[in-house]
Amino acid sequence: MAPSCVTRVHARQILDSRGNPTVEVEVTASGSEEVFRAAVPSGASTGENEAVELRDGDKAVYLGKGVTKAVSNVINILGPAIAGMDVTDQEAIDKKMLDLDGTDFKSNLGANAILGVSMAVCRAGAAAKKVPLFKHLNELAGSPKMVMPVPCFNVINGGVHAGNYLAFQEFFLIPDGAASFSEALRFGAETYHTLKAIIKATYGIDSTAVGDEGGFAPRVKDPEEALKLLIEAIEKAGHAGKISIGIDAAASEFYKEGKYNLDFKNPDDDGSMVRSPKDLVEFYCGVAKRYPIKLMEDPFDEMAFDTHAELTAEIGDFVEVVGDDLYCTNTKFVSKGMEMKSTNAMLLKVNQIGSVTESLEANNLCRSKGWGVFVSHRSGETEDTFIADLTVALSTGHLKTGAPCRSERNAKYNQLLRIEEAIGASTPYAGQNFRTPWKI
């Protein structure tokens, strides 16, 4: 059969879930009248070493956040360059685009431009092979045994994602005791609504408004108070022992001059909540023993490989310590983390690195060393469901894509329901093996 080749690439500026512009790409291929579309997410809490999200910078238009330059790069540079290439050869197309950009962090053409094309081409490749996207991605990754992931629901927001004084950015519900993905989704939704009722009764109805990722932002300042809220909600929802807890501190946001300020958002900060790295290690170890915490993401600053290693040595046997800003889905930084034993897992964000092929390379490196991989959305999302297929394809065992609230979040969960239905009982739910799904 003749290969299906790229015949047209188009792009436009659309709005993400925060009302900011982002890039949407369309690819058409020979032998098909279908248009294959992808939309690129955007983060608010970003790592220093993330691939460059190209913005226009014109303050008079979208407050400088327009992406017309990235759109133009898709239409005028990337599209013509990959015209005629085989859509099933993801690696060759991604390499072509990376060579055209010629920079380490895609600052020339923009990671948002390159990723949009990469994802749209991947969908075209799946169609050309007449297989679902998750199946095509699985084959590109070397065909690991697929599992359904544990959904990690961000239900309490803090940090730069919320207007309260809570320093830590996210608190997760992890229904690892469910029997299936669909049951895990139900457990999460039930606990989410129970939590809402508790927050309303305790802090008032104004604390039940949702943040960028669908979680609540109650008037909480102490991280341990947030943990107690989750425990109460889990128990009242009837799921005690079936739902664990996760934390994303996003600690780079409150790190300054060697210290961590847990009251950094408070205009009346008196310095009483400033902690040393050693203090914070002790805090994490303490709460890990008092609460059913299974995951901690970015517990320290993005350059603190050594402090991450101290914590991992203490709790890594029973808690997954995940590097996000520490690694930026980049194999160069992941390799450094492996050498220093900084964490035991990597967060995978496709727009942090900027292409499908590089995302697969980072995943495969982690898998080869027995590390966990935690697939993630961004705070600025779209209705694109690519990461739902990706997490099943790579058998990562878990993903986070927000609370069971807001359509751009539920779009991913609903796609996972469709995948679960399509692949049936032959594909197990990761459950309590979400850190090591290859052992299932």
**Catalytic residue numbers?**
213, 349
Three-class DSSP category at 327: coil
Going through 274-411 in order, the beta strands assigned E by DSSP cover: 274-275, 293-297, 320-323, 345-348, 372-376, 398-400
Q: How far apart are CA 121 and CA 118, in angstroms?
A: 5
* CB-based contacts of 320, cutoff 8 Å, min separation 6: 294, 295, 296, 344, 345, 372, 374, 435
CA dihedral 173, 178, 181, 184 (to 10 degrees): -40
Question: Could you tell me which of 362, 364, 360, 315 has the C-alpha nearest to residue 341?
Answer: 315
Q: Decide: 53 and 112 in contact? Cβ < 8 Å.
A: yes
Cα 96 to chain centroid distance, Å, stands at: 26
Both tokens assigned to 126:
């799946």
CA dihedral 420, 423, 425, 429 (to 10 degrees): -50
Question: Which strand (E) or helix (H) includes residue 414?
Answer: helix 407-423
Both tokens assigned to 105:
């962090």
